[in-house]
């Protein structure tokens, strides 16, 4: 009998406990204005409309009756049965698009010292964020709304917005292929992602936010100017919050560079003060632009973190 695969090697998939916990929590853009992801979403102009809104490429899982037969692209060698076909969309079906933007820089691979010995007590920041994204995608798609995915770094996967049921598997596959690596300018990367969104909607940023608060403010301001609502789920490792190193150690960035000596009683106090000050700056930047920020630590249940995120509570209890 083979040994079970390490958690880090398992495919990314929705967390069933978290999915059940958030199943009845409303999703939508109106509630974001009040600091949550709750609210009505279908029919963005109010009421029910069947006004034609445009086309999108046919995907496996779409109802063939929705194909616009007159918009078939010219047949070409090598096309599969799902290529070259478009389905009609109507205003009542385009009320909510959730754009998932997940950071996959090298720093997102961090789990902290508890994981260094291979005990597997908690996932990396990347795996926690990716699982959260997969769970949110499944929840949105079950309500027949659209989801897009952008991975910042880690291979840079991008999936356009779709409400097809099969899109959930595509999201999970893209996240599974993601491997945190390299450095990114978070603000610049978010801005570039926003420029590719073809539909206004709710942008959900999943990141550790180890970035300058003013740069974050600029990125979120740009999102709002483009007509998007936004919400941020910050994912952190326990050691990043508590800094439990009571003896001096040498630390090396996952992005490379020389090791830095830190720790000890005085070093721990200084780190915690600086970390708290930066967290306050991030929170203030989000408040200024009207974007809710929720912080999750990867040793907590994902169900609890997503529950807070969708109800507008900021930090874990």
Q: Which residue has the higher pLDDT, 273 or 68?
A: 273
- Average of pLDDT values for 253-278? 79
For residue 305, report the phi and psi dihedrals to the nearest 5 degrees: -65, -45
Band the pLDDT of 247: cuts 50, 70, 90: confident
Band the pLDDT of 253: cuts 50, 70, 90: low
Give the 3-state DSSP-derived string for the chain, with helices as H, strands as E and coil as C. CCCCCCHHHCCCCCCHHHHHHHCCCCCCCCHHHHCCCCCCCCCCCCCCCCCEEEEEECCCCCCHHHECHHHCCCCCCCCCCCCCCEEEEEHHHCCCEEEEEEECCHHHHCCCHHHHCCCCCCCCHHHHHHHHHHHHHHHHHHCCCEEEEEEECCCCCEEEEECCCCHHHHHHHHHHHCCCCCCCCHHHHHHHHHHHCCCCCEEEEEECCCCCHHHHHHHHHHHHHCCCEEEEEEEECHHHHHCCCCCCEEECCCCCCCCEEECHHHHHHHHHHHHHHHHHHHHHHHHHHCCCEEEEECCCCHHHHHHHHHHCCCCCC
Q: List 239's β-bridge partners, or say none.
A: none
**CATH match for 11-40+95-311 among 3.30.428.10, 3.40.50.410, 3.30.450.20, 3.30.460.80:** 3.40.50.410
Residue 63 pLDDT greater than 70, yes or no? no
Residue 62 pLDDT greater than 70, yes or no? no
Q: Which residue has the higher pLDDT, 224 or 96?
A: 224
pTM of the model: 0.77
Q: Which residue has the higher pLDDT, 128 or 116?
A: 128
Band the pLDDT of 262: cuts 50, 70, 90: low
Q: Which residue has the higher pLDDT, 312 or 275?
A: 275
- Average of pLDDT values for 191-206? 91
Q: Which residue has the higher pLDDT, 246 or 251?
A: 246
Band the pLDDT of 163: cuts 50, 70, 90: very high
Q: Which residue has the higher pLDDT, 167 or 91?
A: 167
147-156, 244-253, 277-286, 292-301: least confident range: 244-253
- Average of pLDDT values for 210-219? 93
Residue 45 pLDDT greater than 70, yes or no? no
Tell me the average pLDDT of the chain. Answer: 80
pLDDT given for residue 243 in this prediction: 83
Residue 132 pLDDT greater than 90, yes or no? yes
Q: Give the start-to-end residue ranges of the domains of the chain.
A: 11-40+95-311, 52-90
Measured distance CA(229)–CA(226) in Å, rounded? 9
4-8, 140-144, 178-182, 254-258: least confident range: 4-8
pLDDT given for residue 79 in this prediction: 44
CB-based contacts of 25: which residues, under 8 Å, 6+ apart? 37, 38, 307, 310, 311
- Average of pLDDT values for 7-26? 86
pLDDT given for residue 282 in this prediction: 97
pLDDT given for residue 37 in this prediction: 47
Q: Which of 6-10, 51-55, 184-188 has the highest mean pLDDT?
A: 184-188
- Average of pLDDT values for 117-134? 83
Widest CA span of the chain, in angstroms? 72
Measured distance CA(287)–CA(281) in Å, rounded? 10
Band the pLDDT of 8: cuts 50, 70, 90: low
pLDDT given for residue 266 in this prediction: 76
């Amino acid at each position: 009998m083979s040994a079970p695969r390490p958690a880090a090697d398992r495919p990314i998939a929705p967390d069933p406990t978290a999915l059940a916990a958030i199943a009845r929590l409303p999703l939508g853009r109106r509630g974001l204005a009040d600091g949550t992801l709750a609210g009505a979403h279908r029919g963005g102009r109010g009421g029910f409309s069947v006004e034609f809104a445009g086309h999108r490429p046919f995907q496996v899982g779409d109802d063939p009756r929705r194909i616009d037969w007159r918009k078939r692209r010219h047949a070409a060698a090598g096309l599969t049965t799902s290529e070259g076909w478009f389905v009609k969309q109507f205003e009542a079906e385009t009320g909510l698009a959730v754009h998932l933007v997940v950071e996959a820089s090298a720093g997102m691979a961090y789990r902290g010292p508890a994981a260094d010995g291979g005990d597997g007590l908690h996932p990396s920041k990347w795996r926690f964020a990716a699982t959260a994204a997969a769970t949110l995608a499944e929840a949105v798609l079950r309500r027949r709304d659209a989801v897009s995915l952008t991975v910042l770094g880690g291979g840079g996967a991008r999936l356009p917005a779709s409400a097809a049921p099969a899109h959930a598997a595509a999201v999970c596959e893209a996240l599974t292929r993601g491997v945190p690596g390299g450095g990114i300018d978070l603000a610049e990367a978010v801005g570039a992602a926003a420029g590719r969104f073809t539909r206004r909607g709710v942008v959900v940023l999943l990141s550790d936010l180890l970035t300058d608060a003013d740069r974050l403010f600029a990125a979120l301001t740009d999102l709002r100017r483009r007509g998007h609502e936004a919400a941020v789920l910050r994912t952190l490792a326990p050691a990043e919050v508590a800094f439990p190193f009571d003896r001096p150690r040498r630390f090396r960035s996952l992005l490379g560079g020389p090791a830095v000596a830190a720790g000890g009683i005085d070093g721990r106090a200084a780190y915690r003060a600086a970390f708290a000050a930066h967290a306050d700056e991030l929170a203030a930047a989000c408040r200024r632009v009207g974007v809710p920020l929720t912080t999750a630590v990867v040793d907590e249940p994902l169900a609890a973190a997503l529950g807070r995120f969708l109800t507008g509570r900021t930090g874990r209890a």
